[in-house]
Amino acid sequence: MNSFSELAFAYDEPPFSADFRSDIEDFIVAEDLGFELCGEGEHLCLQIEKRGENTHWVAENIARQLGIKVLDVSYCGKKDRYAITSQWFSAYLPKREVEPALLHKLGSLNPDGTCASTKLLNHSRHKKKLRRGEHEGNDFRIRLRNISAKARLDIDPRLQNIRDLGVPNYFGEQRFGREGNNLQLFDDMFVSKKAKLRRNQKSMLLSAARSHLFNLVLSARVRDGSWRSVETGPLWGRGELSGTEIEKHYETNALLAWQQWRDALEHVGLFQERRQLVLLPRSLQWQWAAEDILDVAFSLSSGEFATVVLREIVSLNNVQHLT
């Protein structure tokens, strides 16, 4: 059901391809909290670098090492598994100090007891737990390999356009699960109701459905060239669409075929929200490390997706999905 590959391109579909994340060091992400930890409080915050591990696995191991519940460990957002990433975790530890030896163990988690796949970069106390989406954004350093020698004349102007004009602020493919499975599950559980909702799935599936409808509206605007002239698009729910009557008509018309999905999202109690249509990567830089290797660096705000930027540069081979 996932139609991410069919979404319109702002600068036409790239005619050249590149290998993406063929090595774990080709995708490096550093989380930017955007605020200072206060240095005191009931929560121990840990900045951890992980290699080849998913965020939930790290959270589980922090809980196990500290002897607390997994629910007492929180983080701002998931980070890709097949990458080198750094992010902050908070653990609820009121009236308890953590010995240096235990801190060392927290920075040397590993799946098999032999080779550590994490490293503790920093730690501090804080008065509040870290919550999803609370961080300001992420800094990316990405290497794209095996690019055709002819591609540079096409890619450099694309990067200049992206730097100056931005890209469509689509939700990334990983939001929808492998092969769009989250969208099919939403349809099965909330529309056709031929399957029962499993525990802890509701939020994920509702988010996937809203993201899909937003992408469809944005894609329609990219196709007709209006995506930069209107600031926001709909995250579907109850209530009136904002904007002019023309904009309301446009958005409703773009989703005529999705009336059942719209009804389902309204029925569960979600309310209309808005999302920016244009994603403008901050501090976008690039250099050719070799004739067939391109290094790209940029920063994105929380809720923005690096793959949405990359898809406007080249067609990506060997994409590793978020796990």
Indicate whether 132 belongs to any domain: no
> What pTM did the predictor assign?
0.91
The structural domain count of the chain equals: 2
Q: Which of 19, 26, 80, 187 is catalytic?
A: 80
CB 98 within 8 A of CB 113: no
For residue 105, what pLDDT band results from cuts at 50, 70 and 90? Answer: confident
| Domain shared by 78 and 155, yes or no | no
Indicate whether 15 belongs to any domain: yes
Instruction: Identify the domain containing residue 235 by its residue range.
Output: 4-23+144-279
Q: How far apart are CA 200 and CA 178, in angstroms?
A: 18
Predicted confidence (pLDDT) at residue 210 exceeds the cutoff of 50: yes
| Domain shared by 90 and 216, yes or no | no
Tens-digit pLDDT profile for residues 216-240: 999 999 999 999 999 999 999 999 8
Indicate whether 294 belongs to any domain: no
| Domain shared by 80 and 12, yes or no | no
Of 92, 126, 160, the one marking the end of a domain is 126
| Domain shared by 156 and 256, yes or no | yes
For residue 252, give the nearest of 217, 222, 224, 225 by alpha carbon.
217
pLDDT at position 178 is 84
Tens-digit pLDDT profile for residues 12-37: 999 999 999 999 999 999 999 999 99
For residue 41, give the nearest of 122, 105, 130 by alpha carbon.
130
| Domain shared by 50 and 97, yes or no | yes
Q: What is the CA radius of gyration of the chain?
A: 21
- Amino acid identity of 320? Q
Of 91, 126, 161, the one marking the end of a domain is 126
pLDDT at position 114 is 45
pLDDT at position 3 is 75
CATH number at residue 112: 3.30.2350.20
Is residue 263 part of the annotated active site? The answer reads no
Indicate whether 172 belongs to any domain: yes
For residue 271, what pLDDT band results from cuts at 50, 70 and 90? Answer: very high
Mean pLDDT of the chain: 91
Q: How far apart are CA 127 and CA 133, in angstroms?
A: 18
Q: How far apart are CA 175 and CA 322, in angstroms?
A: 9
CA 121 to chain centre: 22
Tens-digit pLDDT profile for residues 132-162: 989 999 999 999 999 999 999 999 999 999 9
Tens-digit pLDDT profile for residues 44-90: 999 999 998 889 999 999 999 999 999 999 999 989 888 999 999 99
Burial class from Cβ neighbours inside 10 Å (0-12, 13-18, 19+) for residue 168 reads buried
The kind and range of the H/E element at 273 are strand 273-276
The kind and range of the H/E element at 224 are helix 202-224
Ramachandran sector of residue 64 (left: φ over 0; alpha: ψ -120 to 50; beta: rest): alpha
